[in-house]
Structure 1
């Protein structure tokens, strides 16, 4: 997907929803960004019916242009925020513990 000189967005992703509607399914780890193939956290449908998928980084780069075009956006970037450690340095409750076993003492 890319913004061309006329301000339209181009992609090779086939249409899976009606124009102006969101895809009916939640995004999964199998959904990939149309620009870099990273996991997609954002999707929207163009007026031509093409569904575009973007990672958080590429959506951030194109967010204003997408908003200016009036597309309805399905934004699941909150999943990224939930996976980050809390500001006090502790991991979220669903994250596995990263405690390491103490190093064994070597005796001579």
Structure 2
């Protein structure tokens, strides 16, 4: 009986927490995922809804999120081509705990900002 070679999975970082958080913890990934939460969006819709992201940065962020399995990219063979982005099951599952963090940030932002102000003032 021949033994099948085991599949080797290469990780970008040996620590799974850092590997995942480094990617989704960047400046734009969470905003893109939250913008896709209600449903499918096209590139220009994402640009409008997010606001201050450049085309290059949105494109790079979408590629990373697709690479990691958070979103899908669907290209329709039309002229001009239509491309749509949507959350995967993984993307939806990520947003569940992220909603708790977003709610916490909203609830505590004023306190944190005040603490920063006092620190800068030397209080």
Report the TM-score, using the length of structure 2 for normalisation: 0.27
Hey, which of these two has a bigger chunk of helix by percent?
2
Report the TM-score, using the length of structure 1 for normalisation: 0.29
